[in-house]
Chains A and B, each alone.
Chain A
Amino acid sequence: SAVISQKPSRDICQRGTSLTIQCQVDSQVTMMFWYRQQPGQSLTLIATANQGSEATYESGFVIDKFPISRPNLTFSTLTVSNMSPEDSSIYLCSVEGTSGRYNEQFFGPGTRLTVL
């Protein structure tokens, strides 16, 4: 299994500011995924980050709002830009496992963001 850490674990931010969330994996992975979970809701994929190329964004999410970096095979960042209270969510980083027996997808502990 992959061990994933995220920073910060939680933050309270003011409207109009930006927050960068870091995701670190203990092994090299090809794809890293960023999900958002709004309060009381399910998880929604924001984008897929592949090392060395532009992230692929899902419908409803744009690079200007959620810029992503993927400088190497173990690290990625997601920035939530020009925040509004609607951005208050848990943001989760995820990677696929490499067990070979079946496909797995592991999640980091999440970043709980509150925007005032």
Chain B
Amino acid sequence: AQKITQTQPGMFVQEKEAVTLDCTYDTSDPSYGLFWYKQPSSGEMIFLIYQGSYDQQNATEGRYSLNFQKARKSANLVISASQLGDSAMYFCAMRAPLLTGANSKLTFGKGITLSVRP
């Protein structure tokens, strides 16, 4: 069974600083994908970044980067130069095995609330 763990309580960061949101995972599948989503108060789920288990390099998308440590089964999201608009709930999710179709559902962590202070 797949499991995603996000244990940090609410996180606070000063505007323009960097922040790391933790995510650990557990799966027995060698092929898997890790996703991060942002959910503002409006409720929509915004895709941020993806890391495949076989990707050689850590994923980056603009101000978002993923610190992927496969041996430790962690996939922490790093947000650089925080902005007020980054205040939201952040979810880590995993798809394992990495297949499209009916068996490729996402398993989500509980989420982390990030608040950016001006």
Cβ A30 vs Cβ B106 within 8 A: no
A115 at the interface (CB under 8 A from B): no
Q: Is B108 an interface residue (CB 8 A)?
A: yes
User: CB < 8 Å: which of A1, A96, A102, A109 contacts B43?
Assistant: A109
A37 to B, closest residue via Cβ: B43
- Pick from B12-20, B63-71, B94-102 the stretch touching chain A: B94-102
Residues of chain A in range 98-116 having any CB-CB distance to chain B below 8 Å: 102-110, 112
A50 within 8 A of B: yes
Chain A residues with CB under 8 Å of B105's CB are: 33, 45, 48, 58
Q: Are B109 and A42 in contact (CB under 8 A)?
A: yes
Q: How many residues of B contact A (CB 8 A)?
A: 24
Scan residues 30-72 of chain A and give those whose CB is less than 8 A from a CB of chain B: 30-31, 33, 37, 41-45, 48, 50, 56, 58
Find chain A residues with CB under 8 A from B109 CB.
42
In the complex, per-residue mask of A74-101: 1 if CB is within 8 Å of any chain B CB, else 0: 0000000000000000101010100000
How far in angstroms is the closest Cβ of chain B from A63? 16
Give A103 Cβ to nearest chain B Cβ, in Å.
5
A105–B36 alpha-carbon span in the complex (Å): 11
Residues of chain B having any CB pair with chain A under 8 Å: 33, 35, 37, 42-45, 47, 50, 52, 91, 93, 95, 98, 100-102, 104-106, 108-111
Chain A residues in contact with chain B, CB under 8 A? 1, 30-31, 33, 37, 41-45, 48, 50, 56, 58, 90, 92, 94, 96, 102-110, 112
| A–B Cβ pairs within 8 angstroms, 12 of them | A33-B105, A42-B91, A42-B108, A42-B110, A43-B108, A94-B106, A102-B33, A102-B52, A104-B50, A107-B44, A110-B43, A110-B45
